[in-house]
Structure 1
Amino acid sequence: MMTSLTSTYHAWTWLEPGEPEQLRLVEQVVAPPGPGEILVRNTMIALNPVDWKVIAQGPAEWKPGHVPGVDGVGIVSAVGDGVSVPVGGRVAYHQAIGKPGSFAGYTTVDADCALVVPQGVSDESAAGIPCPGLTAWQALTKVPDMPNRDVLVTGAGGAVALILAQLALRRKWRVWATASPIHRERLLALGIAGVFDYRDGGWCGQLTDALGPRRLFAAFDTTSGAYARTLAPLIGYNGHLVCIQDRLDAPPLSPFTTALSLHEVALNSAHGHATAEDWREWRHAGAQLLEAVQIGTLDLQPHVVIAFDDLPTSLSALKHQRIKGKKILVRVEMTRHYR
């Protein structure tokens, strides 16, 4: 089923590994979705660090003319066979890295990864959920829900870690965080026990003093594999080290010491390996996150909305940290980019 569609739209396309500014704006033709797919007319695009990273690397399956972008929000304009998502409904989605992405007027996605956006949730808020929110959810599912535990979340000023810290608080854990001092008061107001400046070389000692005789049950790292390795000594017996950014290929501690469990987080893996039951859990988790936004119980990173024409330069600003502490969103205007 398909609504009345414009025949063409504009998309930012990739030509070769490099900087975001190398993306090229081209006109493309709208194509109907296949079985199990939906065609989304994008209204809001969210920029994520993974976007500039894959643009720089150039995955093997990308060919010149590929459209990047993993996160978007929009209106369902057409559905393929076997799809129950209604035409005209509003959805948020996380696209597979290997498929044509969200940096366009239209994106075709598998219906499995579409999250229905409830009334009362703005496009801006919905766009901040798929990649950051579902990554945070996946990270949390790695660790058993055991009461009265201490956990650490690094980089809590970022989109993923901010959501993760709040989900951890819902488990009645005592949550500690690292962040820039500008985020300290906001994080403490959420109920986080203590916020440490990651640039202070003595922050690990400060955390150890604050813990007293207790040890961390888990550490969730959003920085790098090398940084995650330095957190391992802070984690107690039978604890967990969760790598959201990068992974550890070798144990950070000697065997048979604290019996540390290592976990990697890779949201994109769902697109290649998730079962039908996995997708149901994915959509359920996404629905819970959007509901929390709707009722005001989940704080998101502040955002800035930019024009579609400014997408490459804004993605470069994200990469080179010229914009910090804010989610960059891209508004797609029909009057400007469609005919």
Structure 2
Amino acid sequence: MPNTVVTNPDTIPSSMQAIALIEPNEDIHLSDTQLPVPQCTGNELLVKVEYVGLNPVDAQFAKSGFCLWQYPHVLGLDAVGVVVKAGKGVFPGVGERVMWHASIGEQGVLSEYAKVPNYAVSIIPKQLASDKAATLPCAGMAALISLDKLSVTEGDTLFVEGGAGAVGQFAIQFAKQRGADVFTTASKRNHKLVKQLGADVVFDYNDKALCDKIRRELGPQGFDAVIDIMGGESTIQNIELMRFCGRIACLNPLPNFEQQLMYRRAPNISIVSLGGAWLANSLCAQQRMSFMGNLLLETVANGEITPPEVLAVDFNANAVSAALNKQLAGGFTGKQVVKIS
């Protein structure tokens, strides 16, 4: 292979252990399986995966499937690992530790090896632990895209729904860096955490008088901007809490809106979709994810941003199945991370 650089050809096996979805199912039952190690071409890197961060989207699609998937399908989108094979002259090269958010339309990263285009990865600073880096891609990028779409600037009032979740934790911290006044919701046990991250005002999301208390605290004008993390009926409630022509970034599918609400609030609605960068085949959007990854890695490595707590998950089908069910049940703080190798 004169045009390929390899760590040591003898150390890369022909097959690998992976965790796959045999078919979509409500119980999120996954299977341990052996698959061929991916073959790379052109500017693709072969990476020996070290850690995989789990996300709600992994669990949602394990239940419903995805239109582009063939089965068995390897789940997982957020990966950290070491490059073991790269084309000659392709950067980053063999031995570099990298992080990336993978394409939702292709095989995932819950496997011993994975391939990824070189322009979609970010190099991890030496001082940052790999498991910490695995908490960053999906949640951190979703928070950054949301803030950019909302054009959050100094003095804005921003409502971050579910501040103790991974997206919420990143959103609070980056919004405070931009000078926003941040309001958020969390369970009472997590009020201290989100306050430490920078939230100015915290409400108990279980409070039946939540909307009234927000209005009393904020005043009649409503929020300038909202990061809508939960979706569904809460999106309607969040729009009610916005000022006229306010901005909302939605991370989940939109509900059906009543026409009267749209006239009365005239919201500027933005959709946040990391998977869209791959599905639209947008090289610029994929490269932008790499740039956002660089920012996340740099700010965490420098201590400017605190990542979510790592919740370790074993690399076997039963453990990952249970962890994905936990993702949808919620009620935990931190980021579930699978140790692959």
Normalising by structure 2, what TM-score? 0.91
Which segment drifts farther, 169-178 or 24-33?
A: 24-33
Instruction: Quote how far apart the aligned CAs of 1:256 are.
Output: 4.9
Task: Summarize deviations over 1:133-178 as a string: whole Å, max 9, x none.
Answer: 1111111111124331111001111001110111111110100001
**For residue 125 of structure 1, what is the aligned residue in structure 2?**
132
Task: Summarize deviations over 1:20-58 as a string: whole Å, max 9, x none.
Answer: 652121112223312221111101111111111111111
Structure-2 separation of matches of 1:171 and 1:326: 24
**For residue 176 of structure 1, what is the aligned residue in structure 2?**
183
SS in 1 for 2:306: coil
Q: Alignment partner for residue 244 of structure 2, among 237, 245, 264? A: 237
**For residue 186 of structure 1, what is the aligned residue in structure 2?**
193
Q: Does 1:330 align with 2:338?
A: yes
Q: Alignment partner for residue 316 of structure 1, among 316, 321, 325? A: 325
**For residue 7 of structure 2, what is the aligned residue in structure 1?**
3
Structure-1 separation of matches of 2:181 and 2:75: 38
**For residue 77 of structure 2, what is the aligned residue in structure 1?**
70
Identity level (%): 27
**For residue 36 of structure 1, what is the aligned residue in structure 2?**
43
**For residue 160 of structure 2, what is the aligned residue in structure 1?**
153
Q: Does 1:279 align with 2:283?
A: no
- The answer to whether the 8 Å contact 2:105/2:279 transfers is no
Instruction: Quote how far apart the aligned CAs of 1:122 are.
Output: 0.6
Task: Summarize deviations over 1:114-144 as a string: whole Å, max 9, x none.
Answer: 1111111111110011111111111111112
Structure-1 separation of matches of 2:41 and 2:142: 27
SS in 2 for 1:175: strand
- The answer to whether the 8 Å contact 1:229/1:252 transfers is no
Instruction: Quote how far apart the aligned CAs of 1:214 are.
Output: 4.2
SS in 2 for 1:316: helix
- Segments of 5+ residues of structure 2 without an aligned counterpart are none
Query: Which amino acid in the other structure matches residue 166 of structure 1?
Result: Q
Structure-1 separation of matches of 2:309 and 2:207: 25
Structure-1 separation of matches of 2:53 and 2:27: 15
Instruction: Quote how far apart the aligned CAs of 1:199 are.
Output: 0.8
Structure-1 separation of matches of 2:234 and 2:259: 11
- The answer to whether the 8 Å contact 2:28/2:63 transfers is no
- The answer to whether the 8 Å contact 2:48/2:81 transfers is yes
Against the structure 1 CA distance between its residues 189 and 13, is the aligned structure 2 distance closer, same or farther, given a 3 Å change threshold? closer
Against the structure 1 CA distance between its residues 63 and 280, is the aligned structure 2 distance closer, same or farther, given a 3 Å change threshold? closer
- The answer to whether the 8 Å contact 1:41/1:75 transfers is yes
Matched residue count:
332
- The answer to whether the 8 Å contact 1:51/1:70 transfers is yes
Against the structure 1 CA distance between its residues 186 and 252, is the aligned structure 2 distance closer, same or farther, given a 3 Å change threshold? farther
- The answer to whether the 8 Å contact 1:35/1:82 transfers is no
- The answer to whether the 8 Å contact 1:20/1:313 transfers is no
Which segment drifts farther, 312-321 or 6-15?
A: 312-321
- The answer to whether the 8 Å contact 2:169/2:197 transfers is no
Q: Does 1:138 align with 2:172?
A: no
SS in 1 for 2:114: strand
Query: Which amino acid in the other structure matches residue 329 of structure 2?
Result: H
Structure-2 separation of matches of 1:49 and 1:225: 15
Against the structure 1 CA distance between its residues 220 and 115, is the aligned structure 2 distance closer, same or farther, given a 3 Å change threshold? same
Q: Alignment partner for residue 23 of structure 2, among 16, 40, 57? A: 16
Which segment drifts farther, 30-39 or 91-100?
A: 30-39
- The answer to whether the 8 Å contact 2:251/2:273 transfers is yes
Structure-1 separation of matches of 2:230 and 2:259: 16
- The answer to whether the 8 Å contact 2:38/2:114 transfers is no
Instruction: Quote how far apart the aligned CAs of 1:185 are.
Output: 1.0
SS in 1 for 2:71: coil
Which segment drifts farther, 177-186 or 213-222?
A: 213-222
Q: Alignment partner for residue 261 of structure 1, among 258, 268, 276? A: 268
- Segments of 5+ residues of structure 1 without an aligned counterpart are 334-339
Structure-2 separation of matches of 1:286 and 1:221: 22
Instruction: Quote how far apart the aligned CAs of 1:194 are.
Output: 0.7
Against the structure 1 CA distance between its residues 251 and 128, is the aligned structure 2 distance closer, same or farther, given a 3 Å change threshold? farther
Structure-1 separation of matches of 2:102 and 2:320: 18
Which segment drifts farther, 265-274 or 130-139?
A: 265-274
Instruction: Quote how far apart the aligned CAs of 1:237 are.
Output: 3.0
Instruction: Quote how far apart the aligned CAs of 1:191 are.
Output: 2.4
Query: Which amino acid in the other structure matches residue 151 of structure 1?
Result: L
